[in-house]
Structure 1
Amino acid sequence: MNKFYKNRRISISLRLTAIHAVILSIILLIISILTINIVERVLMKEYKSEIKKVTEDVKKYIKSGKEINKDILQEVTLKDGIHLKIFGEDESLIFQNKLDTIEINIKEYNELDLIDLADDSRMEILYLNKVVFKENKKYYVQVAKKLDAYDAFLETLYVILVIMNIFGVIIAVISGIYLSRKILKPIEWITNTAKSISIHDLDERINVHGADDELKELGETFNDMIDRLQESFEREKQFVSDASHELRTPISVIQGYIDILDRWGKDDKEVLEESILEIKNETFNMKKLIEQLLFLARGDNKKYKLNYSEFYLNELIDDIVNETKMIDNKHTIINNVNGKVIINADFDAIKQVLRIIIDNSIKYTADHGDIFIESEKQNDYVEIRVKDTGIGIPKEEQPYIFDRFYRVDKSRSKDTGGSGVGLAIAKWIVKKHLGAIKVESELGKGTQIIIKLPINMY
């Protein structure tokens, strides 16, 4: 069934050509009909005017009292094809300009003074009968014109217009094929480019040139789409590569300690305890990384849904400060500014953001350093600032710290246990809340992360 339908499919080019030909044919037909109609009216009007003029000239001649004979031809101009007859009161023929003249009864076909058409066995005749009075005498004047030239001209015009219409349709088909192919050429390029593109080869692009029209815009849109796809695939490949690298490290460490235990560590209590402790640490780090990766994957697939509710942000920050002081006694946690404000947000997600940022501040701030946590309302937003006195971030590195798996101090990654995923999660959550997050840092003088969240999402 599909194969049958495919074989019967009519291409856009053929449809455009057919539409073009039909429209042009209709236009030519309308023009031809109008042309014939106008020509008929103009010629008939001219013939009638000619007959009326001759009739009036003859009338003037008769009323002048001159003798009715061939001298009338010197004063009345009779064009070729004009037949003139003058009858007496008894309807006897007094004068005619042609011997082989047409025969029309002076009273049979129409009323006097009315131009009409008569038919003989061969053609149509246009004529006018008129009564002329001179003193007490009555004359009948008949002026007629054969329409054989008129009919022959119209027949010739019909033939010419038919031939023109036929040639017009042929030209319409040829030009329609040419124009449709030229117009649809960019679509063919798009189709061929799309066929040549695969996941492993996204470098193909449409050669966009020519007039600035909708098809060019379509090509540019297609190229933009491929650019985004390529960027997405590259990011996905990089994500998988980085995730594999991050997971490979703890697995290698765990495998190394297991080999030690298997060889001789089981009999050495100190080695046994050290191995178990390191395996636990690496397992914890790996579990944390997997959870972060799953979070990002759900976010990318739009499967992670935020649960919005109203709560006091200052109370959440108080809880975070107290928790941090309990688990970290090597740094001074300072919370002098914490304005009372109710926001509409996901409580757990905002708490996760703050934990990630504070955890980074702790990792990169020397012992006995200070960490400031502040919040205050600003119009329809609330601003949260987490500032430390740590090592700082080089200026050239700052635009990338929210990228996945990006670490500024790569040499310390093992010591800090960071994977470079935390800040990416924080940025994702903030953006989902229609907020903004930015960094201000100076090398050797500390870092400040600033978060702006709308107080009400709706």
Structure 2
Amino acid sequence: MNLLKKFAGDRKNIKFSIALKATAIYTSMFGLLLAATVGFLSWAITIRAVHMRHLDSVASMVEERLKHGRGQDFDFDAFAKANKVYIEIRYEHEGTTLTFGKKPGGKGNYANTVRSIDRPCRKATVTVVDCESISIAGNISATGFLVILSALLLVISISGALLIRKMMRPIYNMTAAARSISAKDLSRRIDTVHSNDELKELAETFNGMLDRIQASYEQQKRFVSDASHELRTPLSVISGYANLLRRWGSEDPEVRDESVEKIVEETENMKQLVERLLFLARADQQTQLISFERFNVSNLIDSITEDTKLISREHAVVSEIEPGVFLTADPALIKEAVRAVLDNSMKYTPPGGEIRISCRRGPGCVEIEIVDTGMGIADKDLPYIFDRFYKADAVRSRGTKGSSGLGLSIVKWIVERHSGEIRLESKLGSGTRFTFIFPDTRNTETTERPA
């Protein structure tokens, strides 16, 4: 039973090409037509042979009667009618002809046999004609055969058309799907269950293309929606403080200073958001340039660490930098990635917490690590932390200013374009560890190319 199920399953996976199917269809049609022709001809020949044997038997009996002079007491007319034949006896010396039975009419090709009787006193020629041979072996083998052949050709043509239509169904479905696709509905797909040939591959490729188009379109819609939402917040804040400044700013210096400070702060947040949106737009269009060069990454990380200490005096910023570590990469983008992670560490690490930055050589690679003792990331948020505009629940509830959910998306893009790897370890309430691993290609040439 299991073998039968396995065989049935294997049969479903067998792939038949269109050429093989078409060859099988036309071979079957030709074979059926040839078999019908041969069969019908064989039948007609057999029927004619049966009638010829019957004629020979009748002719032999007539010949026997005449040879032995027993024709006078024999009723040839009744004999002819009983055997459905026409008998003609022609006496050569006398020039007389005797006929028995009903003579066939028309110009049909009747089966007949002729016997010569050579008697000393009376020579005769006997002709026996089968009255039915024209209707069975003649009419049927000619008119009937043409009718049957025409009907067979019609059946074969219809069957072939249906089979070809079934084979071409995926193309018809693709045409209908292509016509029905619009920005409002990208969910249409082609059924590939009933096909297992090149058309199935074409349909699967078409479905895959639609999947990518739909995913890209939905991603674009989410991007526009999320970007609009993120821009709405600073614009609302700026508008609110501008109205407050217009109403009370001239009378209350405290209101004026607070409003100006908030407007500047939100303007900076909006500027940063727009810059990141433009960065990701260039990345999606593969127009973001990457300038690879050999540089001292130890010095770069040391400079970033010093800047961080000046910016975030409320955190203990510690560095562990191995001197003389070189890397072939884009220094500006590496700096952008490290700063983006450090910004998150400063935002989500409480005052007095520690932020540790390290840079070291690895086996065939360079490792940059940032560890903090901040709020950490929940397990359920880890798979989505690099998605655009994604914010963990803890971040949303905390209401952290300046968090757009784009920083880590940019970090991931930068690391991947350098053929690197990001390792993320985090536990809610204990802190987070980011590790960048870049391959050390030791290429000293400076190159610039679009990502």
**TM tier relative to shorter chain:** 0.5 to 0.7
Question: Do the aligned residues in 2 keep the contact of 1:24 with 1:169 (CA within 8 Å)?
Answer: no
Rate the CA distance shift 1:445–1:292 in 2: closer, same or farther, 3 A: same
162, 179, 182: which one aligns with 2:163:
179
Q: When the two structures are superposed, what TM-score results if normalisation uses the length of structure 1?
A: 0.62
Question: Do the aligned residues in 2 keep the contact of 1:24 with 1:172 (CA within 8 Å)?
Answer: no
Rate the CA distance shift 1:226–1:457 in 2: closer, same or farther, 3 A: farther
Question: Do the aligned residues in 1 keep the contact of 2:375 with 2:428 (CA within 8 Å)?
Answer: yes
AA aligned to 2:173 is: W
Partner of 1:363: 347
Q: Measure how far apart 1:263 and its partner are.
A: 1.9
Q: Measure how far apart 1:438 and its partner are.
A: 2.7
1:208 aligns with 2:216: no
1:456 aligns with 2:441: yes
Rate the CA distance shift 1:210–1:221 in 2: closer, same or farther, 3 A: same
Write the distance in 2 (CA, Å) between the matches of 1:457 and 1:230: 41
Rate the CA distance shift 1:382–1:164 in 2: closer, same or farther, 3 A: farther
How many residue pairs were aligned? 320
Partner of 2:415: 430
Q: Measure how far apart 1:162 and its partner are.
A: 11
Write the distance in 2 (CA, Å) between the matches of 1:232 and 1:359: 29
Partner of 1:86: none
Write the distance in 1 (CA, Å) between the matches of 2:430 and 2:224: 35
Partner of 1:334: 318
Question: Do the aligned residues in 2 keep the contact of 1:433 with 1:457 (CA within 8 Å)?
Answer: no
Rate the CA distance shift 1:455–1:167 in 2: closer, same or farther, 3 A: farther
Rate the CA distance shift 1:258–1:176 in 2: closer, same or farther, 3 A: same
Partner of 1:441: 426
Question: Do the aligned residues in 1 keep the contact of 2:319 with 2:358 (CA within 8 Å)?
Answer: yes
Partner of 2:307: 323
Write the distance in 2 (CA, Å) between the matches of 1:237 and 1:320: 36
Greater RCO (CA < 8 Å, at least 6 residues apart): 2
User: Where in structure 2 are the equivalents of 1:14-413 lying within 5 Å?
Assistant: 173-338=157-322, 340-408=324-392, 409-411=394-396
Question: Do the aligned residues in 2 keep the contact of 1:345 with 1:457 (CA within 8 Å)?
Answer: no
Write the distance in 2 (CA, Å) between the matches of 1:377 and 1:170: 80
The DSSP-based 3-state class of the residue aligned with 2:256 is helix
AA aligned to 1:340 is: G
Write the distance in 2 (CA, Å) between the matches of 1:203 and 1:457: 47
Write the distance in 2 (CA, Å) between the matches of 1:316 and 1:379: 21
My pick for the range that moved more, 407-416 or 422-431, is 407-416
The DSSP-based 3-state class of the residue aligned with 1:202 is coil
Question: Do the aligned residues in 2 keep the contact of 1:20 with 1:176 (CA within 8 Å)?
Answer: no
Write the distance in 2 (CA, Å) between the matches of 1:394 and 1:449: 15
Offset from partner CA, 1:292-318 (integer Å, 9 cap, x none) = 001011111111121111112112111
Q: Measure how far apart 1:206 and its partner are.
A: 1.6
Structure 2 portions without partners, runs of 5+: 1-18, 39-144, 444-451
Write the distance in 2 (CA, Å) between the matches of 1:339 and 1:165: 94
Offset from partner CA, 1:31-81 (integer Å, 9 cap, x none) = 9xxx9xxxxxxxxxxxxxxxxxxxxxxxxxxxxxxxxxxxxxxxxxxxxxx
Structure 1 portions without partners, runs of 5+: 1-15, 36-160
Q: Measure how far apart 1:213 and its partner are.
A: 2.3
Rate the CA distance shift 1:274–1:216 in 2: closer, same or farther, 3 A: same
Question: Do the aligned residues in 2 keep the contact of 1:341 with 1:377 (CA within 8 Å)?
Answer: yes
Write the distance in 1 (CA, Å) between the matches of 2:147 and 2:297: 87
Question: Do the aligned residues in 1 keep the contact of 2:353 with 2:372 (CA within 8 Å)?
Answer: yes
Write the distance in 2 (CA, Å) between the matches of 1:253 and 1:359: 22
Question: Do the aligned residues in 1 keep the contact of 2:421 with 2:438 (CA within 8 Å)?
Answer: yes
Identical amino acids, percent of aligned pairs? 44
AA aligned to 1:437 is: I
My pick for the range that moved more, 400-409 or 280-289, is 400-409
Q: Measure how far apart 1:190 and its partner are.
A: 1.5
Write the distance in 2 (CA, Å) between the matches of 1:433 and 1:287: 26
Question: Do the aligned residues in 1 keep the contact of 2:181 with 2:188 (CA within 8 Å)?
Answer: yes
Question: Do the aligned residues in 2 keep the contact of 1:308 with 1:344 (CA within 8 Å)?
Answer: yes
Partner of 1:106: none
AA aligned to 1:319 is: S
After the TM superposition, which parts of structure 1 deviate over 6 Å for at least 4 consecutive aligned residues? 161-172
Note the aligned Cα RMSD (angstroms).
3.5
Rate the CA distance shift 1:179–1:336 in 2: closer, same or farther, 3 A: same
Offset from partner CA, 1:225-266 (integer Å, 9 cap, x none) = 222222222221111111111100111111111111222222
Question: Do the aligned residues in 1 keep the contact of 2:293 with 2:330 (CA within 8 Å)?
Answer: yes
Rate the CA distance shift 1:264–1:337 in 2: closer, same or farther, 3 A: closer
AA aligned to 2:284 is: D
The DSSP-based 3-state class of the residue aligned with 2:289 is coil
Q: Measure how far apart 1:381 and its partner are.
A: 1.8
